[in-house]
Structures are given as structure tokens and as C-alpha cells.
């Protein structure tokens, strides 16, 4: 296993393609009522086109904070984040976020309007008719045709997340940011959604940065995993997982990698106890 120290280049030649997202030495802090909390400390990683890049770690490792940083909702106190070489300063439609919460859909807009709202305000469509056409196309992609004129409160949790994903994809952002999008779903729906996400990815080969605390989900969804340690979040490893999918879930290799990551994340805790 190649050991790399902080700041040094990872072993192996750099890929010929330019990365879409570069995160360099990023420290993020946020304030609660009483404390200034350092969520991540000098985190580096690079996301390349068509990556399904997973940020994995236990709660408190700052993975969601990191995603909010990339989305532009937080500024790093140290380090830099660049999207296609441009420094990230504020939220923008070139990085669309899919949240865990179901209320990310605007309740006063129908399924289709939620998507056209994004397309129109995000500057992707100037004409409503164009936006409508794109919206319907993506509604079909997430298999929600027939529900385009339904208001979100009539939809199930899984359907709401599908709309949110369709909205994100319809924007065709440089990178899709997903913050534990399936964590509020029941196990059966979650599995179905993971498979559907992979099918969609296979269709359009978008780039996605995916946050999860489930090792299994990371292996199933991602092609590369950044493992973060908790309090504050620091990079522990970057692993390749493109060879794993639902098809080989439960195989010895799959379980071996799962165990390896599990030990990586929880080894310290055992020692502490």
C-alpha cells in the first residue's frame, strides 16, 4: 500500500486528462453558538471527468461541510478549491447540489416546474418552451413521466429524490454534488435508487461528487473513494472501487475491501477504548 505524506504527490504518474475539481489543502471552519469548529483540516483531492467520486467517513468527519465548500456555501479559511481551474467563490449553477432533505423541492412548484425553475434561473434556458422540453426529457430518464404536473407533497420520498436528481442532471453542471441523497430512504428504495443512479451515469457519464457514511454505498456507487478521519476531517486514503457493483456485492473481494475501510475508520476508536 503506497504511503503518502501530507502535501506530497500521490504515487504513480498523473493522468493525462485535466481534473474538473481540484481541492488543495482546504481547511473549513464553521461557528456554532459557542464554538468555532474545524470541520476539515488540509484536505486534498482531485476529481476527474466522469468520476463517481465518493467522500466517505463517519459523522463528524466534515464530509458534508466539504461538499458545501465545493458548492460555494462556505469559504475555506486555508487552501483553495478550483472548478475547471477557476477558484470557487460563491454558489453557482455550474455545481448543482442534491440534498438529503426532501424539502429541497420547492413545494409551490410541480415536478416539471421545479426543473424548469432551475433551468431558467440557472441561465441554461432563456425560453420556457426549451426548458419544458429538457425537463420532460429528464423526467422520463428518472421514470417519473405521468407525474410532471404533480406537486411534491403528493410524491413519496424516493420519487422526490428522483426529481431532485433529474433537476440536478438537467442543469448539466460541471459536477453534480450529492449530499447523502439516499440516506432518508428505506433500504429497498435506496438500493433501487443506487442502481438507477448508476444507469443514469452510464447513459450520460456526468461527474459526481457523492457524500455518504455507508461503506457499502460508497463501494456500490463510487469508482474512487476518499476516506476521511473524524474531528477534524483529514484524508486517510484514496481507494479505487470501480471494480465493485451490485453484481459482486457480497463477494469475498467486496467484503475484504469493506472490512479494510471499516478498520481504517474505526481502528483508532478501538485503540482509544
Partner 1 sequence: MSATPASVRAEPVERPEFERTPLDARKIGQIERPLSVVERMWNVQVVRNFAVLLMFVVLWEAYTQIANVKPLLFPSFSDTCIALYKAFADQKLMAKIWFTLQSLLIGYAVGLVAAAVLVSLASIWRVWADILMTATAMFNPLPSIALLPLAMLWFGLGTASLVFILIHAVLWAVALNTFVGFQGVSHTQRMVGQNYGLRGVMFAVKILIPAALATVLSGMKIGWAFAWRTLIGAELIFGATSRGGGLGWHIFENAEQLRTSQVFAGLLMIILIGVIVEYVIFRNIELRTVRRWGMQR
Could you tell me which of 221, 176, 180 has the C-alpha nearest to residue 57? 180
* Residue choice 49, 58, 92, 230 for contact with partner 1 (CB under 8 A): 92
Q: How far is residue 163's CA from residue 138's CA, in Å, rounded to a whole number?
A: 9
Instruction: Measure the CA dihedral 120/52/201/93, to 10°.
Output: 0
Residue 71 or 218: the one with the smaller Cβ distance to partner 1 is 71
257 binds partner 1, rule: CB under 8 A: no
128 binds partner 1, rule: CB under 8 A: no
157 binds partner 1, rule: CB under 8 A: no
Q: How far is the CB of 141 from partner 1 (least distance, A)?
A: 20
Residue 156 or 259: the one with the smaller Cβ distance to partner 1 is 156
154 binds partner 1, rule: CB under 8 A: yes
106 binds partner 1, rule: CB under 8 A: yes
Cα three-residue angle 151-152-157, rounded to 5 degrees: 150
* Residue choice 80, 103, 128, 203 for contact with partner 1 (CB under 8 A): 103
Q: How far is the CB of 255 from partner 1 (least distance, A)?
A: 29
Q: How far is residue 219's CA from residue 244's CA, in Å, rounded to a whole number?
A: 6
Stretch that binds partner 1, among 26-34, 135-143, 147-155, 235-243 (CB under 8 A): 147-155
Residue 106 or 198: the one with the smaller Cβ distance to partner 1 is 106
37 binds partner 1, rule: CB under 8 A: no
Residue ranges that bind partner 1, judged by CB under 8 A: 71, 73, 90-93, 95-97, 99, 101, 103-104, 106-108, 117-118, 121-123, 151-154, 171
Amino acid at each position: 500500500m503506497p504511503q503518502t505524506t501530507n502535501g506530497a504527490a500521490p504515487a504513480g504518474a498523473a493522468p493525462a486528462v485535466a481534473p474538473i475539481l481540484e481541492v488543495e489543502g482546504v481547511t473549513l471552519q464553521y461557528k456554532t453558538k459557542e464554538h468555532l469548529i474545524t470541520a476539515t483540516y488540509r484536505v486534498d483531492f482531485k476529481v476527474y471527468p466522469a468520476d463517481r467520486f465518493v467522500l466517505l467517513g463517519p459523522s463528524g468527519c466534515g464530509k458534508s461541510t466539504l461538499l458545501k465548500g465545493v458548492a460555494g456555501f462556505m469559504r475555506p479559511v486555508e487552501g483553495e478549491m478550483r472548478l475547471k481551474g477557476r477558484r470557487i467563490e460563491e454558489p453557482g449553477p455550474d455545481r448543482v447540489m442534491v440534498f438529503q432533505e426532501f424539502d429541497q423541492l420547492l413545494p409551490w412548484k410541480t415536478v416539471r416546474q421545479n426543473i424548469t425553475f432551475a433551468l431558467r434561473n440557472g441561465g441554461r434556458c432563456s425560453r420556457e418552451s426549451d426548458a419544458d422540453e429538457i425537463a420532460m426529457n429528464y423526467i422520463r430518464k428518472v421514470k417519473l413521466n405521468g407525474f410532471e404536473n404533480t406537486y411534491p407533497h403528493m410524491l413519496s420520498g424516493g420519487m422526490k429524490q428522483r426529481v431532485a436528481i433529474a433537476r440536478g442532471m438537467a442543469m448539466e453542471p460541471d459536477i453534480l454534488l450529492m449530499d447523502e441523497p439516499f440516506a432518508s430512504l428505506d433500504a429497498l428504495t435506496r438500493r433501487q435508487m443506487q442502481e438507477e443512479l448508476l444507469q443514469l451515469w452510464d447513459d450520460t457519464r456526468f461527474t459526481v461528487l457523492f457524500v455518504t457514511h455507508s461503506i457499502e454505498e460508497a463501494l456500490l456507487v463510487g469508482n474512487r473513494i476518499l476516506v476521511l478521519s473524524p474531528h477534524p476531517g483529514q484524508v486517510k486514503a484514496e481507494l479505487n472501487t470501480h471494480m465493485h457493483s451490485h453484481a459482486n456485492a457480497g463477494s469475498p473481494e467486496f467484503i475484504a475491501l469493506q472490512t479494510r475501510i471499516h478498520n481504517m475508520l474505526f481502528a483508532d476508536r478501538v485503540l482509544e477504548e
